[in-house]
Amino acid sequence: MTPSLRVKICGITNRDDALVAIDAGADALGFNLFPGSKRRVRIEEVAPWLPALGPDVVRVAVMVNPAAEEIAAARPLFDVLQLHGQETPEVCAEAAIAGLVWKAFPLADGLDATPYPADAILIDSSVPGAFGGTGALIDLDRAALFVRASLRPVWLSGGLSPDNVFAAVAKVRPHGVDVASGVEFPGNPRRKDPARVRAFVAAARR
């Protein structure tokens, strides 16, 4: 077990699933604000109940190439902005002025996150034309090399599930793991399966 391992349940679309994830021991919840995502939520939909989740869970706004006004609208409700598109280091720097920023990258040969002023890095499987949430398993060997070379916390994402997260953590030794499709009901990307959420958290920390 990695004692400090953090767990993020991403693609939360409703209050019930958020409470399930918190009860299972998740440290962070991801809310996808990207209009092109099948897990997309609007700020006005989650605003009535998001603050009531309590202070012990990190609320993460997952954004793809957001405009400045979108960043400004998300900041009051979320603890972290996770930039998951082709944002430049300058955009990351601007977003980081008012709070925490995590920068997500598809893991590929030659990935250099050094120029990006982010508090943490998230690495995901590389799927052309997709911004995460595909269920494709990340290259664990390459991920392990990236984590060992990084001077910042690295979150591991991409195809993780209750069945493979223990082995992935053992090999990669990330700061945290991030899951979306791996804990959903089959064929329903907008609902989490409570049994799979609990199994994922337990396996990640086993």
- Residue 60 CA, distance from chain mean position: 7
Q: Which of 10, 17, 178, 193 is catalytic?
A: 10
Looking at residue 77, its amino acid is L
Residue 202 structure tokens = 């337990």
Q: Which of 17, 124, 178, 193 is catalytic?
A: 124
Question: 204, 169 in Cβ contact below 8 A?
Answer: yes
Angle between helix 165-172 and 194-204 (nearest 10): 30
Verify whether residue 141 is a known catalytic residue: no
- The CA-based angle 14-79-86, given to 5 degrees, is 90
Question: 83, 104 in Cβ contact below 8 A?
Answer: yes
Query: 176: which residues sit within 8 A by CB, 6+ positions away?
Result: 5, 6, 7, 8, 27, 28, 153, 155, 156
- SS3 of 135, please? coil
Verify whether residue 124 is a known catalytic residue: yes
- SS3 of 72, please? helix
CA distances from 22 to 103, 136, 175, 194, 198 (A): 23, 25, 19, 11, 10
Q: Residues with catalytic annotation?
A: 10, 124
